[in-house]
Protein backbone atom coordinates (compact mmCIF):
# COMPACT_ATOMS: atom_id res chain seq x y z
CA UNK A 1 0.00 0.00 0.00
CA UNK A 2 1.23 3.47 -0.91
CA UNK A 3 0.39 6.37 1.40
CA UNK A 4 0.49 9.95 0.03
CA UNK A 5 -0.43 13.07 2.00
CA UNK A 6 -1.37 16.36 0.32
CA UNK A 7 -2.82 19.69 1.49
CA UNK A 8 -6.22 20.90 0.33
CA UNK A 9 -6.90 24.53 -0.61
CA UNK A 10 -8.00 25.50 2.90
CA UNK A 11 -5.09 23.79 4.65
CA UNK A 12 -6.81 20.52 5.54
CA UNK A 13 -4.91 17.26 5.05
CA UNK A 14 -5.91 14.55 2.57
CA UNK A 15 -4.23 11.14 2.50
CA UNK A 16 -4.45 8.69 -0.41
CA UNK A 17 -4.10 4.99 0.37
CA UNK A 18 -3.29 3.35 -2.95
CA UNK A 19 -3.13 -0.35 -3.70
CA UNK A 20 -0.49 0.27 -6.39
CA UNK A 21 2.98 1.43 -5.43
CA UNK A 22 3.37 3.46 -8.64
CA UNK A 23 0.35 5.72 -8.02
CA UNK A 24 1.12 9.41 -8.58
CA UNK A 25 -0.84 11.92 -6.50
CA UNK A 26 0.30 15.34 -7.67
CA UNK A 27 -3.08 16.86 -8.57
CA UNK A 28 -3.53 20.17 -6.67
CA UNK A 29 -6.77 21.36 -5.10
CA UNK A 30 -7.79 24.27 -7.36
CA UNK A 31 -10.83 25.39 -5.38
CA UNK A 32 -11.22 28.64 -3.47
CA UNK A 33 -12.49 27.69 -0.03
CA UNK A 34 -13.39 29.61 3.12
CA UNK A 35 -11.36 29.10 6.29
CA UNK A 36 -12.07 25.93 8.24
CA UNK A 37 -14.29 26.73 11.24
CA UNK A 38 -12.87 26.24 14.72
CA UNK A 39 -13.62 23.11 16.71
CA UNK A 40 -16.79 22.77 18.74
CA UNK A 41 -17.18 24.22 22.19
CA UNK A 42 -17.33 21.51 24.85
CA UNK A 43 -19.73 22.05 27.74
CA UNK A 44 -19.78 19.72 30.73
CA UNK A 45 -23.18 18.54 31.90
CA UNK A 46 -22.94 18.37 35.71
CA UNK A 47 -26.11 16.26 35.99
CA UNK A 48 -24.74 13.37 33.91
CA UNK A 49 -20.99 14.01 34.17
CA UNK A 50 -20.78 14.03 30.36
CA UNK A 51 -19.32 16.39 27.78
CA UNK A 52 -21.55 17.86 25.06
CA UNK A 53 -20.10 19.35 21.86
CA UNK A 54 -21.77 22.55 20.67
CA UNK A 55 -20.93 22.81 16.96
CA UNK A 56 -23.31 25.32 15.38
CA UNK A 57 -21.27 25.52 12.17
CA UNK A 58 -22.29 21.94 11.31
CA UNK A 59 -25.85 23.13 10.68
CA UNK A 60 -24.73 24.28 7.21
CA UNK A 61 -22.93 21.06 6.20
CA UNK A 62 -23.70 19.35 2.90
CA UNK A 63 -26.98 17.42 2.99
CA UNK A 64 -27.89 14.65 0.53
CA UNK A 65 -26.66 16.30 -2.69
CA UNK A 66 -27.49 14.71 -6.08
CA UNK A 67 -24.92 12.28 -7.45
CA UNK A 68 -23.51 14.79 -9.93
CA UNK A 69 -22.68 17.15 -7.04
CA UNK A 70 -21.22 14.60 -4.62
CA UNK A 71 -18.20 16.08 -2.79
CA UNK A 72 -16.64 12.61 -2.30
CA UNK A 73 -16.48 11.62 -5.96
CA UNK A 74 -13.22 12.27 -7.83
CA UNK A 75 -12.72 15.71 -9.34
CA UNK A 76 -13.35 16.27 -13.04
CA UNK A 77 -12.41 19.23 -15.26
CA UNK A 78 -16.02 20.40 -14.99
CA UNK A 79 -16.49 19.90 -11.23
CA UNK A 80 -13.99 20.06 -8.37
CA UNK A 81 -14.61 17.99 -5.24
CA UNK A 82 -12.91 17.21 -1.97
CA UNK A 83 -10.74 14.68 -3.85
CA UNK A 84 -8.49 16.43 -6.43
CA UNK A 85 -7.52 13.18 -8.18
CA UNK A 86 -9.53 11.82 -11.13
CA UNK A 87 -9.63 8.38 -9.46
CA UNK A 88 -8.62 6.83 -6.14
CA UNK A 89 -8.72 3.64 -4.10
CA UNK A 90 -9.19 4.85 -0.49
CA UNK A 91 -8.93 8.48 0.55
CA UNK A 92 -9.04 10.08 4.00
CA UNK A 93 -9.33 13.81 4.64
CA UNK A 94 -10.04 16.22 7.45
CA UNK A 95 -13.74 16.95 7.72
CA UNK A 96 -14.71 20.35 6.34
CA UNK A 97 -17.32 20.69 9.09
CA UNK A 98 -15.53 19.19 12.11
CA UNK A 99 -16.93 18.75 15.59
CA UNK A 100 -13.39 18.30 16.89
CA UNK A 101 -10.19 19.79 15.50
CA UNK A 102 -6.82 21.35 16.23
CA UNK A 103 -8.05 24.78 15.16
CA UNK A 104 -9.61 26.11 18.36
CA UNK A 105 -11.11 29.40 19.47
CA UNK A 106 -10.71 31.11 22.83
CA UNK A 107 -13.39 29.87 25.17
CA UNK A 108 -14.74 31.18 28.48
CA UNK A 109 -13.82 29.11 31.49
CA UNK A 110 -17.44 28.33 32.31
CA UNK A 111 -21.07 29.00 31.40
CA UNK A 112 -22.13 28.84 35.05
CA UNK A 113 -20.31 27.71 38.15
CA UNK A 114 -21.59 24.20 37.36
CA UNK A 115 -20.82 24.12 33.62
CA UNK A 116 -17.12 24.22 32.70
CA UNK A 117 -16.24 24.97 29.07
CA UNK A 118 -13.25 24.01 26.94
CA UNK A 119 -12.43 23.78 23.23
CA UNK A 120 -13.09 20.53 21.38
CA UNK A 121 -9.45 19.86 20.55
CA UNK A 122 -9.26 16.65 18.54
CA UNK A 123 -9.79 15.67 14.91
CA UNK A 124 -12.57 14.55 12.55
CA UNK A 125 -11.84 12.77 9.29
CA UNK A 126 -13.85 11.35 6.39
CA UNK A 127 -12.89 7.95 4.92
CA UNK A 128 -13.90 7.28 1.31
CA UNK A 129 -13.95 3.52 0.68
CA UNK A 130 -14.07 3.75 -3.12
CA UNK A 131 -14.37 6.32 -5.89
CA UNK A 132 -17.48 4.53 -7.23
CA UNK A 133 -20.51 6.52 -6.06
CA UNK A 134 -22.95 3.67 -6.74
CA UNK A 135 -21.21 1.01 -4.65
CA UNK A 136 -21.77 -0.02 -1.05
CA UNK A 137 -19.26 -1.48 1.42
CA UNK A 138 -20.86 -4.89 0.92
CA UNK A 139 -19.81 -4.78 -2.75
CA UNK A 140 -16.13 -4.10 -2.07
CA UNK A 141 -13.55 -6.81 -2.68
CA UNK A 142 -11.81 -8.47 0.29
CA UNK A 143 -8.62 -6.76 -0.90
CA UNK A 144 -10.26 -3.34 -0.70
CA UNK A 145 -11.58 -4.12 2.77
CA UNK A 146 -7.99 -4.86 3.77
CA UNK A 147 -6.92 -1.46 2.38
CA UNK A 148 -9.68 0.25 4.37
CA UNK A 149 -8.65 -1.62 7.52
CA UNK A 150 -5.01 -0.61 7.03
CA UNK A 151 -6.09 3.01 6.51
CA UNK A 152 -8.15 2.96 9.72
CA UNK A 153 -5.22 1.47 11.62
CA UNK A 154 -2.92 4.18 10.24
CA UNK A 155 -5.33 6.94 11.24
CA UNK A 156 -5.87 5.41 14.68
CA UNK A 157 -2.14 5.67 15.33
CA UNK A 158 -1.85 9.21 13.96
CA UNK A 159 -4.92 10.63 15.70
CA UNK A 160 -4.03 8.92 18.95
CA UNK A 161 -0.76 10.87 19.00
CA UNK A 162 -2.46 14.28 18.63
CA UNK A 163 -2.60 16.65 21.62
CA UNK A 164 -5.76 16.21 23.64
CA UNK A 165 -7.10 13.07 21.94
CA UNK A 166 -8.32 10.42 24.41
CA UNK A 167 -10.00 7.92 22.07
CA UNK A 168 -10.14 7.22 18.32
CA UNK A 169 -13.51 6.10 16.99
CA UNK A 170 -13.93 4.71 13.45
CA UNK A 171 -17.44 4.20 12.11
CA UNK A 172 -19.73 4.04 9.08
CA UNK A 173 -23.34 5.23 8.84
CA UNK A 174 -25.30 3.74 5.94
CA UNK A 175 -28.81 4.64 4.78
CA UNK A 176 -31.01 7.70 5.10
CA UNK A 177 -33.02 5.80 7.73
CA UNK A 178 -29.96 5.87 9.98
CA UNK A 179 -29.20 9.54 9.29
CA UNK A 180 -26.55 9.73 6.56
CA UNK A 181 -26.06 13.09 4.82
CA UNK A 182 -23.99 11.77 1.87
CA UNK A 183 -24.82 8.69 -0.23
CA UNK A 184 -21.24 8.02 -1.40
CA UNK A 185 -19.81 4.97 0.45
CA UNK A 186 -17.76 6.46 3.26
CA UNK A 187 -17.08 6.37 6.97
CA UNK A 188 -15.72 8.75 9.56
CA UNK A 189 -13.07 8.89 12.26
CA UNK A 190 -13.38 10.95 15.44
CA UNK A 191 -10.47 11.78 17.69
CA UNK A 192 -12.39 12.51 20.90
CA UNK A 193 -10.89 14.91 23.48
CA UNK A 194 -12.61 12.94 26.27
CA UNK A 195 -13.75 9.39 26.96
CA UNK A 196 -17.28 8.92 25.56
CA UNK A 197 -19.98 7.65 27.94
CA UNK A 198 -20.15 4.25 26.22
CA UNK A 199 -16.41 3.72 26.66
CA UNK A 200 -16.52 4.79 30.28
CA UNK A 201 -19.29 2.27 30.91
CA UNK A 202 -17.42 -0.53 29.13
CA UNK A 203 -14.22 0.19 31.05
CA UNK A 204 -16.03 0.29 34.39
CA UNK A 205 -17.66 -3.10 33.75
CA UNK A 206 -14.35 -4.57 32.54
CA UNK A 207 -12.53 -3.24 35.59
CA UNK A 208 -15.07 -4.78 37.99
CA UNK A 209 -14.79 -8.12 36.17
CA UNK A 210 -10.98 -8.05 36.33
CA UNK A 211 -11.13 -7.38 40.07
CA UNK A 212 -13.60 -10.23 40.65
CA UNK A 213 -11.68 -12.76 38.53
CA UNK A 214 -8.10 -11.86 39.33
CA UNK A 215 -7.35 -10.20 36.03
CA UNK A 216 -9.82 -11.72 33.55
CA UNK A 217 -10.71 -9.84 30.36
CA UNK A 218 -14.48 -9.34 30.35
CA UNK A 219 -15.01 -9.15 26.61
CA UNK A 220 -12.73 -12.13 25.95
CA UNK A 221 -14.69 -14.17 28.50
CA UNK A 222 -18.05 -13.12 27.00
CA UNK A 223 -16.79 -13.97 23.51
CA UNK A 224 -15.65 -17.41 24.66
CA UNK A 225 -19.06 -18.03 26.24
CA UNK A 226 -20.89 -17.00 23.07
CA UNK A 227 -18.68 -19.22 20.91
CA UNK A 228 -19.30 -22.14 23.28
CA UNK A 229 -23.08 -21.60 23.31
CA UNK A 230 -23.20 -21.19 19.54
CA UNK A 231 -26.90 -20.34 19.17
CA UNK A 232 -26.24 -16.64 18.62
CA UNK A 233 -23.18 -17.08 16.38
CA UNK A 234 -23.87 -15.89 12.83
CA UNK A 235 -20.51 -16.58 11.15
CA UNK A 236 -16.92 -17.37 12.10
CA UNK A 237 -13.48 -18.21 10.74
CA UNK A 238 -10.07 -18.97 12.25
CA UNK A 239 -9.57 -15.42 13.53
CA UNK A 240 -12.99 -13.76 13.94
CA UNK A 241 -16.48 -14.54 15.24
CA UNK A 242 -19.66 -12.62 14.43
CA UNK A 243 -22.44 -13.09 16.97
CA UNK A 244 -25.62 -11.45 18.21
CA UNK A 245 -25.02 -10.38 21.83
CA UNK A 246 -27.35 -12.04 24.33
CA UNK A 247 -28.56 -8.63 25.55
CA UNK A 248 -28.76 -6.96 22.12
CA UNK A 249 -30.36 -3.52 22.22
CA UNK A 250 -31.19 -3.29 18.51
CA UNK A 251 -33.46 -5.56 16.42
CA UNK A 252 -30.47 -6.72 14.40
CA UNK A 253 -27.16 -6.20 16.18
CA UNK A 254 -23.98 -8.18 15.60
CA UNK A 255 -20.57 -7.99 17.24
CA UNK A 256 -17.55 -8.98 15.15
CA UNK A 257 -14.54 -9.71 17.34
CA UNK A 258 -11.05 -11.12 16.86
CA UNK A 259 -10.38 -14.28 18.85
CA UNK A 260 -7.14 -12.76 20.13
CA UNK A 261 -7.63 -9.96 22.67
CA UNK A 262 -6.06 -6.88 21.08
CA UNK A 263 -6.65 -3.27 22.13
CA UNK A 264 -7.11 -1.61 18.74
CA UNK A 265 -6.85 -1.86 14.96
CA UNK A 266 -3.09 -1.21 14.75
CA UNK A 267 -2.52 -4.29 16.95
CA UNK A 268 -4.14 -6.68 14.45
CA UNK A 269 -1.78 -9.07 12.67
CA UNK A 270 -1.63 -9.44 8.88
CA UNK A 271 -3.52 -12.73 9.13
CA UNK A 272 -6.26 -11.15 11.25
CA UNK A 273 -6.59 -8.21 8.85
CA UNK A 274 -6.85 -10.53 5.84
CA UNK A 275 -9.45 -12.73 7.55
CA UNK A 276 -11.73 -9.84 8.53
CA UNK A 277 -12.86 -8.85 5.03
CA UNK A 278 -14.44 -12.13 3.85
CA UNK A 279 -16.34 -12.58 7.12
CA UNK A 280 -17.55 -8.97 7.27
CA UNK A 281 -18.65 -8.94 3.63
CA UNK A 282 -20.60 -12.16 4.23
CA UNK A 283 -22.30 -10.53 7.22
CA UNK A 284 -23.24 -7.37 5.29
CA UNK A 285 -24.66 -9.54 2.51
CA UNK A 286 -26.81 -11.42 5.01
CA UNK A 287 -28.18 -8.14 6.34
CA UNK A 288 -29.05 -6.90 2.84
CA UNK A 289 -30.76 -10.19 1.94
CA UNK A 290 -32.78 -10.34 5.17
CA UNK A 291 -35.55 -8.08 3.83
CA UNK A 292 -34.38 -8.12 0.20
CA UNK A 293 -33.40 -4.45 0.38
CA UNK A 294 -30.34 -2.46 1.50
CA UNK A 295 -30.16 -2.56 5.28
CA UNK A 296 -29.48 0.75 7.05
CA UNK A 297 -26.80 0.30 9.68
CA UNK A 298 -24.15 1.79 11.91
CA UNK A 299 -20.81 -0.02 11.96
CA UNK A 300 -18.74 1.09 14.95
CA UNK A 301 -15.25 0.01 15.99
CA UNK A 302 -14.79 -0.07 19.77
CA UNK A 303 -11.09 0.46 20.44
CA UNK A 304 -9.08 0.95 23.60
CA UNK A 305 -8.65 4.54 24.77
CA UNK A 306 -5.33 6.20 24.02
CA UNK A 307 -4.19 6.38 27.63
CA UNK A 308 -6.61 4.92 30.16
CA UNK A 309 -7.63 1.28 30.60
CA UNK A 310 -5.91 -0.18 27.54
CA UNK A 311 -5.29 -3.45 29.35
CA UNK A 312 -9.04 -3.86 29.91
CA UNK A 313 -10.12 -3.42 26.30
CA UNK A 314 -10.84 -5.95 23.56
CA UNK A 315 -11.23 -4.59 20.04
CA UNK A 316 -14.61 -5.36 18.47
CA UNK A 317 -16.96 -4.06 15.81
CA UNK A 318 -20.57 -3.33 16.74
CA UNK A 319 -22.85 -3.53 13.69
CA UNK A 320 -26.53 -2.70 14.17
CA UNK A 321 -29.62 -1.61 12.29
CA UNK A 322 -32.75 0.26 13.28
CA UNK A 323 -34.86 -1.78 10.82
CA UNK A 324 -36.99 -4.33 12.68
CA UNK A 325 -39.11 -5.50 9.73
CA UNK A 326 -39.26 -4.91 6.00
CA UNK A 327 -41.57 -1.93 6.51
CA UNK A 328 -40.83 -0.94 10.12
CA UNK A 329 -38.04 0.98 11.86
CA UNK A 330 -36.99 0.94 15.48
CA UNK A 331 -37.22 4.48 16.86
CA UNK A 332 -35.50 5.63 20.01
CA UNK A 333 -38.63 6.76 21.78
CA UNK A 334 -39.28 7.76 25.38
CA UNK A 335 -37.58 4.92 27.26
CA UNK A 336 -34.50 4.76 25.04
CA UNK A 337 -34.01 8.50 24.50
CA UNK A 338 -34.92 9.80 27.95
CA UNK A 339 -33.83 6.95 30.21
CA UNK A 340 -31.34 4.95 28.11
CA UNK A 341 -33.38 1.75 28.61
CA UNK A 342 -33.71 -0.18 25.35
CA UNK A 343 -36.79 -2.24 24.49
CA UNK A 344 -36.00 -4.83 21.79
CA UNK A 345 -38.84 -6.30 19.71
CA UNK A 346 -36.78 -9.27 18.45
CA UNK A 347 -35.02 -11.84 20.62
CA UNK A 348 -31.27 -12.11 19.96
CA UNK A 349 -31.68 -15.82 19.29
CA UNK A 350 -34.36 -15.14 16.65
CA UNK A 351 -32.18 -12.44 15.04
CA UNK A 352 -29.22 -14.81 14.85
CA UNK A 353 -31.37 -17.56 13.31
CA UNK A 354 -32.72 -15.16 10.67
CA UNK A 355 -29.25 -13.93 9.78
CA UNK A 356 -27.82 -17.44 9.56
CA UNK A 357 -30.63 -18.35 7.18
Rounded Cα distance between 3 and 25, Å, is 10
Rounded Cα distance between 169 and 302, Å, is 7
186 counts as catalytic = yes
Rounded Cα distance between 92 and 152, Å, is 9
**b/e for 27-66, b at 16 or more Cβ within 10 A?**
eebeeeeeebbbbbbbbbeeeeeebebebeebeeeeeeee
Q: Find the angle CA(228)-CA(246)-CA(287) to the nearest 5 degrees.
A: 95
User: Is 184 assigned to a binding site?
Assistant: yes
User: Is 128 assigned to a binding site?
Assistant: no
**Termini Cα distance of the chain:** 36
How many CA atoms, within 13 angstroms, populate the side-chain half-sphere of residue 244? 24
Q: Which of 183, 186, 255, 302 is catalytic?
A: 186
Q: Return the percent helix, strand and coil in the chain, to nearest 5.
A: 30, 25, 45
Residue ranges for the known binding site for Zn(2+) are: 70, 73, 133, 184
Residue ranges for the known binding site are: 70, 73, 133, 184
Residues serving a catalytic function are 186
Amino acid sequence: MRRTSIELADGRELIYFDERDDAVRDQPDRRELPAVPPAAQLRHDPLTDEWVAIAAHRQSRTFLPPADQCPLCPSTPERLSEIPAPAYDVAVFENRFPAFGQRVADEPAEITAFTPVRPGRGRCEVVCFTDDHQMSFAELSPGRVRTVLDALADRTTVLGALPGVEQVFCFENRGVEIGVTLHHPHGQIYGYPFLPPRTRSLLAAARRHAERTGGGNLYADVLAAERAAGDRVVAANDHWTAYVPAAARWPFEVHVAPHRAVPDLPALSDAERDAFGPLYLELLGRLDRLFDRPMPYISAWHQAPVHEGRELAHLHLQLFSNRRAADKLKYLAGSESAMGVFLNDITPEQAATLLRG
